[in-house]
Amino acid sequence: MKTLIIAEAGVNHNGDFELAKKLIDKAVEGGADIVKFQTCKAENVISRYADKAEYQKVTTGEADSQLEMVRKLMLTYEEYGKLKEYCDEKGIEFLSTAFDLPSVDYLHSIGMRRWKIPSGEITNLPLLIKIAKLHEPIIMSTGMSELSEVADAVKVLKENGAQDITLLHCTTEYPAPYEDVNLKAMDTMREAFDLPVGYSDHTKGLEIPVAAVAMGACVIEKHFTLDRNMEGPDHKASIEPDELKSMVDQIRHVEVAIGNGEKKVSASEQKNQDIARKSIIAKTAIKAGDVFSEDNVTTKRPGSGINPMRWFDLLGKTAKHDYEEDYLIEKDELDD
């Protein structure tokens, strides 16, 4: 099964439309299936009294409020519409997280038909209901949530018409400490809700999302940026374009390598059986009429002769042929 890979551009365009288009270009070059942004009217989402997260203070300073910071990072509705058109031209799916009800209406009006509910909105009942009533596919991140809170949100979505729901395990910290990742929580949610489960990654590096795919994640979401040294809240915890491509390549390799679970000799390794395995070989010169014993036979490569698993079937039999040292014992020696 192919993993759906979401390149999370988020607000890493810093409110610059042209940078947003470049992020789309890099998502396409990197092989992502979806490029995702974030859409809202900041004043609908953030109180003027809301504090910044600690990582935001580190990356953007404390001079402005969270509201002021987000205002600077948002594009206009019209620009999101143009980004949707640009994605259509480039052959990549456009997705943007709606953080307020008017943004849901707008994104739906421009033809967005898949919805991402971020971890911070999992308890936002009005938003959950509005998105669920669209009856379109939903991907919901579950960072900062207890299993019971995920259950409550899933219940709301289903009761309001959502049928296609995918959950993403997530650790909402930037960057997320490895010891807090807990990839096994994907199994817990899969068993609890009988829904597809993926992983939204905030760790440094690429190994954790790749490991998540090996553990059955059907969706991978990862923040990316044009340059980690750019100013803005999320750049430091994002990967750069070459790393995005590397991550996608590694995930595609893992998908193929997972296979179907059947244990058998693969087509590529069949040719190596005779080279790597052993046969029963003449340890010393043997004359017809001699009795095969541990003194005159041994096991060596190649594996094209008698399988050494027939060792005791051969010992004690009388040789039918002459053999020089290191010659394969003929298979007809086992015939009665």
Q: What is the pLDDT of residues 183-209, one digit of tens each?
A: 999 999 999 999 999 999 999 999 999
Residue-level pLDDT at 232: 86
- Is 117 a residue whose pLDDT tops 80? yes
316's tokens: 């004690």
- Number of Cβ within 10 Å of residue 205's Cβ equals 13
Q: What is the pLDDT of residues 127-150, one digit of tens each?
A: 999 999 999 999 999 999 999 999
Residue-level pLDDT at 183: 98
| Helices and strands, number each (H, E), in the chain | 14, 10
In the structure, what pLDDT confidence band is assigned to residue 64 with cuts at 50, 70 and 90?
Answer: confident
Roughly how many angstroms between the first and final C-alpha of the chain, as a whole number?
52
d(CA 11, CA 82) in angstroms, rounded, equals 16
- Is 54 a residue whose pLDDT tops 90? no
Topology classification of domain 267-334: Type Iii Antifreeze Protein Isoform Hplc 12 (3.90.1210)
Burial class (CB in 10 A: 0-12, 13-18, 19+), 336: exposed
d(CA 203, CA 174) in angstroms, rounded, equals 7
Q: What is the pLDDT of residues 300-314, one digit of tens each?
A: 999 999 999 999 999
What is the average pLDDT value for the chain, to the nearest integer? 96
- Is 1 a residue whose pLDDT tops 90? no
Residue-level pLDDT at 265: 96
Mean pLDDT in residue range 279-297: 98
Residue-level pLDDT at 53: 83
Mean pLDDT in residue range 55-66: 84
Residue-level pLDDT at 277: 98
- By three-state DSSP, how is residue 222 classified? strand
d(CA 336, CA 314) in angstroms, rounded, equals 11
178's tokens: 């490895």
CA 296-297-303 angle, to 5 degrees, is 160
Topology classification of domain 4-258: TIM Barrel (3.20.20)
Q: What is the pTM of this model?
A: 0.90
Least confident of 31-40, 45-54, 173-182, 240-249: 45-54
Residue 222 pairs in a beta bridge with 7, 201
d(CA 63, CA 68) in angstroms, rounded, equals 10
Residue-level pLDDT at 63: 72
Residue boundaries of the structural domains of the chain: 4-258, 267-334
